Amino acid sequence: DVKVTQSSRYLVKRTGEKVFLECVQDMDHENMFWYRQDPGLGLRLIYFSYDVKMKEKGDIPEGYSVSREKKERFSLILESASTNQTSMYLCASSFGTGAQETQYFGPGTRLLVL
């Protein structure tokens, strides 16, 4: 069974803190993605990775960085958290890069930055 797990379901951090969100998939997928979901805006792509140690910017990469040292793990890093980064963060993975490839999502991490 396909599984994408995220390290935390809820996080509360203070402005200026460094925040790590971890995502692990057990499907040997090549591709991994980080999105944030906000009311009225849907899911917006932050960063994605097509291979280990490889990363590409999505639509809203500002204020974020990522790390992919192993195929199964993709980390999202907020170097200095700000209140406008309060959001639901969703990780996803897919096997290939074709248009028809299904993305499998984790349950999400709801981050509150105070």
Partner 1 sequence: DQQVKQNSPSLSVQEGRISILNCDYTNSMFDYFLWYKKYPAEGPTFLISISSIKDKNEDGRFTVFLNKSAKHLSLHIVPSQPGDSAVYFCAASALMGDGNKLVFGAGTILRVKS
Task: List interacting residues with partner 1 (CB under 8 A).
Answer: 4, 9, 31, 35, 40-45, 48, 50, 56, 58, 90, 92, 96-108
State in angstroms the smallest separation of the CB of 23 from partner 1.
Answer: 11
Q: Which is nearer to partner 1, 82 or 102 (CB)?
A: 102
Report the C-alpha gap between 37 and 59 in whole angstroms: 13
Beta carbon of residue 31, minimum distance to partner 1 (angstroms, whole number): 7
> Residue 41 phi/psi, 5° resolution?
-120, -10
Q: Which of 56, 69, 78, 55 is nearest to 24 (CA)?
A: 69
**C-beta of 85 vs 89, nearer to partner 1:** 89
